[in-house]
Amino acid sequence: MVIAFGKAPTLGFGKQGSPRVSSPHQFSSHLKPDRQGAGWMGTPTRGIELDRYFGGLFRSDARAFACVATSPNDVPGWQNRARPALRHLIGLSVIETDSSGHVPRIDLGEPEAFDDYTRQLGVIETEPGVHLPFWFLTPPGAGPFPLGIFPHGHEDHGMDTYVGKARDAAHQSRIDREDRDVAVQAVRRGLVAIAPNTRGFLPANVPDDRERHGKRDCRCQAIHCLLAGRTAIGERVWDLSALIDWASGLPIVDSKRVLMMGNSGGGVATLYAAACDARVTVAVPSCSYCSIVGLDGRVHHCDCNTVPGILRFGEFWDVAGLIAPRALAIVNGNQDLLFPLAEVDRAVEECARIFQVAGIPELFEHHYGDGGHRFYADLMWPFVARNLPCPAI
Ligand SMILES: [Zn+2]
């Protein structure tokens, strides 16, 4: 058998999606295509022209629910069409059917007294067999107080981080350096604060114990629920809405003032939850807002945030636009390596355009913190104070 060897250029993509030519590749005799596009038996091919392929997949004229409003009067009609479509797309209607007749059960543990607040561990069964733990923090007094809900991102037991419950000194130092105890910050500002476990992470996880999903429980959760027509983000939104259902009925809570704030995957959950659930009055997603795909066609977020068909619905700014006329502050770190700043800026401009068209530009803000993938308390709380009136903030 004669195997042809050859040298051929392989096509890649530059930053703006234009083809570039990388260095020639010397094929081996192992008959395996490499990941750069070199082909079988020395055939110099890239089977997919990525710019044309992505250009077709993600063409902007295919986004059926993109906001094209040109006046404030157009916005409610767009939202009334788009919000149910988004809820369906992320699988909430499937979860509703699967949970039909289920009444969430809530158990609250004994209160622990801290200097200026009380903390309880709770568990809510958000759908049959899903027991989601959460921390419940209350300020002194009878209230009613605004409610704050703080979904965490990619971190097992991340709810502990949000209440400043460190596992060791290094963890404590990171919490302090990166303002990560947001539920404590909230209760000290006079909010009732809930820091729930985000589904997909310990203890409410789907373990990748057979190592078929990159040893990542969040991806394992996503793959399993996708098979049933759900999404991982839809399940997280469901859990957050169940917590609002419960907390809104408490005498200590003013259900007209609801803040949601989260970092990273918790920021994505914040954005979707606020878009889908109009009871959220102020949303602050941190280090999570960017285009879903960049101009180079590449995806920025973790697999567990994948919503099949989302780019035939709209882009991330169309999800964010559903939060208007409620208040939205987006915070990013200017050294957060997960999201190209040019893509953040592009996505922010589009979102600002929607709030401008809606006639409420003052209810949208974007800030860059001088740092990485973390919370920025000094950029978040002033916006919350202005838009979630509370004397203690
Ligand atoms: Zn993930």
Cα–Cα distances (Å) from 262 to 85, 252, 309, in that order, read: 24, 23, 24
Distance 301 CA to ligand 1 centre (A): 8
Distance 274 CA to ligand 1 centre (A): 20
Distance 376 CA to ligand 1 centre (A): 22
Distance 71 CA to ligand 1 centre (A): 37
Where do the structural domains in the chain lie, given as residue ranges?
7-57, 71-387
- In degrees and rounded to multiples of 5, residue 314 shows phi and psi of 180, -175
Within 8 A by CB and 6+ apart from 163, the residues are 119, 135, 137, 181, 183, 184, 195
Distance 193 CA to ligand 1 centre (A): 24
Distance 266 CA to ligand 1 centre (A): 10
Give me the pLDDT at residue 191, please.
Answer: 97
Distance 219 CA to ligand 1 centre (A): 6
**Chain-centroid distance, C-alpha 238:** 13
Strand partners, 282: 259, 327
Closest among 313, 320, 287 to 301, alpha carbons compared: 287
Distance 289 CA to ligand 1 centre (A): 15
CA distance 265 to 232: 11
Give me the pLDDT at residue 26, please.
Answer: 33
CB atoms within 10 A of CB 141: 9
Distance 305 CA to ligand 1 centre (A): 7
Distance 6 CA to ligand 1 centre (A): 40
Within 8 A by CB and 6+ apart from 256, the residues are 281
Give me the pLDDT at residue 118, please.
Answer: 98
Distance 393 CA to ligand 1 centre (A): 33
Distance 200 CA to ligand 1 centre (A): 8
Distance 154 CA to ligand 1 centre (A): 6
CA distance 257 to 327: 11
Give me the pLDDT at residue 314, please.
Answer: 98
CA distance 146 to 246: 14
Is the Cβ–Cβ distance between 279 and 326 less than 8 Å? no
pTM of the model: 0.89
CA distance 19 to 49: 9
Q: What is the mean pLDDT of each run of 10 residues along the chain (393 residues)?
A: 34 37 35 50 74 94 97 97 98 97 96 97 97 98 96 97 98 98 98 98 94 95 97 98 98 97 98 98 98 95 97 98 98 96 98 98 98 98 91 58
- Helix residue ranges, H only, the chain: 50-57, 74-89, 92-98, 158-162, 169-177, 182-187, 217-226, 232-248, 265-276, 310-313, 316-321, 341-357, 377-387
Closest among 55, 65, 67 to 350, alpha carbons compared: 67
How close are the terminal C-alpha atoms of the chain, in Å? 77
- In degrees and rounded to multiples of 5, residue 23 shows phi and psi of -65, 150
Give me the pLDDT at residue 46, please.
Answer: 77
CA distance 15 to 385: 39
Name the pairing type of β-strands 7-8 and 130-138: unpaired
Distance 264 CA to ligand 1 centre (A): 10
Cα–Cα distances (Å) from 21 to 12, 24, 36, 41, 144, in that order, read: 6, 8, 11, 21, 63
- In degrees and rounded to multiples of 5, residue 275 shows phi and psi of -65, -35
Distance 255 CA to ligand 1 centre (A): 30
Q: What CATH number labels 71-387?
A: 3.40.50.1820
Distance 265 CA to ligand 1 centre (A): 7
Distance 210 CA to ligand 1 centre (A): 17
Distance 232 CA to ligand 1 centre (A): 9
